[in-house]
Amino acid sequence: MRTERRTPLNRARVLDAGIALADTEGVDALTMRRLGGTLGVEAMALYNHVANKEDLFDGMLDRVAEEITLPDVDLPWRDYARARAVSAHTTLMRHRWAAAMWTARISLGPARMRYMDGALRSLREAGFPAGLLDLTYHAIENHIVGHALQAQGFPLEAAEMTAMGEGFLRTFPTDRYPDLAAHIRHHLDHPTGDDFEFGLDLILDGLERMRAVT
């Protein structure tokens, strides 16, 4: 049985395979050799399509950014900000490894530039003055990334989550840290965790109030 010669690699296929590997096995499992393996190719072949591992991550990140739905530019700023934040949040939940790189990397691809520029434009057109605008943008963005990073510590499956928590609480010094114990128990009872939109609306409400004043 002869294995068919695969269609030649290209950058997009390398990036997508990288995302798939990081999604399923974790970002630590993403090595050039393993990534090559999933594509039926030696590790060195990847260097024809990405400059190095940094460039690979930057490319993966921008491809993730493409998955974020940018709202209609004519929406009121609050609806625009809310819709884009929710979409960014959903996307980062699908690709949890991306959270730690999301704002920490300076290198921006076109999709991330569109994302940022659109958000900033919406705020400016809503009348946020220069200084407040940048603070506003970061307040929202920090919440998105902070939440995604927090979610990273938890397993994806609810059952797995419960098992982890039970084992955790068994050895936990509940009497010394009663409030923390209650907090952990709360996480076990509410594994879905819709607290993203709670914090988001808190921020958006505050921003609307500030905008009205200035």
Partner DNA sequence: ACCTGAACACCGTTCAAGT
If binding is defined by CB under 7 A, does position 41 make contact with DNA?
A: yes
If binding is defined by CB under 8 A, does position 54 make contact with a copy of itself?
A: no
Packing angle between helix 77-94 and helix 110-125, nearest 10 degrees?
150
C-beta of 30 vs 92, nearer to DNA: 30
Query: Pick from 52, 107, 150, 174: which binds DNA (CB under 7 A)?
Result: 52
Interacting residues with a copy of itself between 80 and 109 (CB under 8 A): 99-100, 102-106
Query: Pick from 44, 156, 163, 202: which binds a copy of itself (CB under 8 A)?
Result: 202
Q: Which of 82, 180, 73, 77 is nearest to 118 (CA)?
A: 73
Cα separation, 54 vs 48, in Å, equals 14
If binding is defined by CB under 7 A, does position 60 make contact with DNA?
A: no
Interacting residues with a copy of itself between 123 and 182 (CB under 8 A): 124, 130-131, 133-135, 137-139, 141-147, 149-150, 152-154, 164, 168, 173, 176-180, 182
Residue 49, contacted partner among DNA, a copy of itself, none, CB below 5-8 A by kind: DNA
Residue 129, contacted partner among DNA, a copy of itself, none, CB below 5-8 A by kind: none
- In angstroms, give the least distance from the CB of 92 to DNA: 23
- In angstroms, give the least distance from the CB of 27 to DNA: 10
C-beta of 9 vs 116, nearer to a copy of itself: 116
If binding is defined by CB under 7 A, does position 105 make contact with DNA?
A: no
Interface residues with DNA (CB under 7 A)? Answer: 8-10, 30-34, 36, 41-45, 47-49, 52-54
